[in-house]
């Protein structure tokens, strides 16, 4: 027997002690549930690469929101999937108050005034080019895009959005969106900026779900290079100076260092987007019996919190809420 004054295992000897000294936890109010909206009626179609996640027509989406609210999931982010005939070069449909997306935002707020509704600001769901920005001669034109995005954001605020989520990675868009919102009387509408959004392979299932993959090229001229860390600090500084309320890192699991950097260096809350591919990997391995899906989910969410995120956007939100209820 040796003399060891410090035996870290003492703090692990029982479930009671382990939970007493537990450093990180998450609650259902930390989670945002991303939901997919499609045209039509009475539709609930599972996304094959994201088991348990569906594309809903508006009527079925409202039902699903009811379930979410009952589980305590009160913040949602909504993404639309439009048919090609609604798409053009200017993403015109994104400003149509009677269109699929904006009319649905309105109906959600009417039925669920206490739900916190976050939107997506980017051109890709409405653009015939499938890019987040305006395309001219094969290039994404920054400043024209930013003007379009600002109009889109104001239209979403008018429809009742609580949080505007620019996911496009154009330069200067947070500032221009902030000014446009304020000018139209929406100074209370928040901005959660996709601050450090990387050009990632982990968005694959999302693009399948919305049929929103770029029609040519890739998104590397606007989304960040996965090799870069310092650049995230620059993006965060700009977004904070331009008026963002919450900074987001995306994806989450391969970018825990970035989450940690932003949470240590900026006074704003940090959010992380646990993206479609990260969800799909856990589900696929669990379906094969290779990992315990529920335990892996909890470990993923904990690791994102441990890195410094306050908020997690995750397709696991409902399942995690069910788990947390069980855990009481
Ligand atoms: C597009 C957008 C994407 C996601 C959210 N908004 C995909 C992309 O940038 O191509 C990805 C979300 C996910 O993978 O879960 N504006």
Strand partners of residue 168: none
pLDDT at 302: 98
Strand partners of residue 118: 77, 163
pLDDT tens-digit map of 85-118: 999 999 999 999 999 999 999 999 999 999 999 9
Sign of the Cα torsion 9, 10, 14, 16 reads negative
Domain interval for residue 189: 23-327
Does residue 327 register a pLDDT over 70?
no
204 Cα: distance to centroid of ligand 1 (angstroms): 9
The set of protein residues with a Cβ atom below 6 angstroms from ligand 1 is 120, 122, 124, 132, 167, 203, 206-207, 219, 275-276
Residue 9, in any domain of the structure? no
**Closest to 315 measured CA to CA, from 160, 234, 206, 180:** 206
pLDDT tens-digit map of 241-261: 999 999 999 999 999 999 999
Confidence of residue 212 (pLDDT cuts 50, 70, 90): confident
Query: Per the structure block, which two tokens stand in for 72?
Result: 């305590």
Residue 173, in any domain of the structure? yes
- The answer to whether the predicted template modeling score (pTM) of the entire model surpasses 0.85 is yes
Residue 17, in any domain of the structure? no
Q: What is the mean pLDDT of the chain?
A: 96
Instruction: Look at ligand 1, atom 7, and give the residue with the nearest C-alpha.
Output: 203
Dump the DSSP string for 119-188. --B-STTTBTT--SSEEETTEEEHHHHHHHHHHHHHHHHHTT-SEE-B-S--TTHHHHHHHHHHHTT-TT
CATH number at residue 121: 3.20.20.70
Residue 13, in any domain of the structure? no
Residue 244, in any domain of the structure? yes
pLDDT tens-digit map of 154-211: 999 999 999 999 999 999 999 999 999 999 999 999 999 999 999 999 999 998 888 7
Residue 65 dihedral angles phi and psi, to the nearest 5°:
-65, -35
207 Cα: distance to centroid of ligand 1 (angstroms): 7
Place of tokens 């009626």: 41
Query: Per the structure block, which two tokens stand in for 151?
Result: 């109009």
Ligand 1 atom closest to the CA of 168, numbered from 1 = 16
Number of domains in the chain: 1
Residue 300, in any domain of the structure? yes
**Which H or E run contains 36?**
strand 31-38
pLDDT at 328: 56
Say if CB 125 and CB 95 are below 8 A apart.
no
Name the residue of 101, 124, 280, 281 to mutate for ligand 1: max ligand atoms within 8 A of Cβ: 124
Catalytic residues: 197, 250
């Amino acid at each position: 027997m040796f003399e060891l004054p410090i035996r870290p295992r003492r703090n692990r000897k029982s479930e009671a002690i382990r939970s007493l000294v537990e450093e990180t936890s998450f609650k259902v109010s930390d989670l945002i549930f991303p939901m997919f909206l499609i045209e039509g009626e009475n539709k609930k179609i599972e996304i094959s690469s994201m088991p348990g996640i569906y594309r809903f027509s508006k009527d079925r989406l409202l039902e699903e929101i009811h379930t979410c609210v009952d589980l305590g999931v009160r913040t949602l982010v909504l993404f639309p999937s439009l048919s090609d005939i609604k798409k053009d070069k200017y993403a015109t449909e994104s400003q149509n108050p009677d269109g699929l997306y904006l009319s649905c935002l309105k109906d959600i707020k009417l039925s669920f005034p206490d739900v916190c509704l976050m939107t997506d600001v980017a051109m890709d769901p409405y653009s015939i080019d499938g890019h987040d920005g305006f395309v001219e001669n094969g290039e994404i034109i920054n400043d024209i895009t930013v003007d379009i995005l600002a109009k889109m954001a104001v239209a979403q605020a008018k429809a009742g959005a609580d949080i505007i989520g620019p996911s496009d990675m154009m330069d200067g868009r947070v500032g221009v969106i902030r000014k446009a919102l304020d000018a139209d009387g929406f100074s209370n509408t928040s901005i959660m900026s996709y601050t450090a959004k990387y050009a990632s392979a982990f968005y694959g299932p999302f693009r399948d779900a919305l049929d929103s993959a770029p029609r040519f090229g890739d998104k590397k001229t606007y989304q960040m290079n996965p090799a870069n860390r310092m650049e995230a600090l620059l993006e965060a500084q700009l977004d904070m100076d331009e008026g963002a309320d919450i900074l987001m890192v995306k994806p989450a699991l391969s970018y825990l260092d970035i989450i940690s950097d932003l949470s240590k260096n900026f006074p704003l809350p940090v959010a992380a987007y646990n993206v479609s591919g990260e969800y799909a990997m856990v589900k696929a391995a669990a379906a094969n019996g290779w990992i315990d899906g529920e335990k892996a989910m909890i470990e993923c969410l904990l690791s994102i919190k441990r890195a410094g995120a306050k908020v997690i956007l995750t397709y696991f939100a409902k399942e995690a809420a069910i788990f947390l209820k069980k855990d009481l």
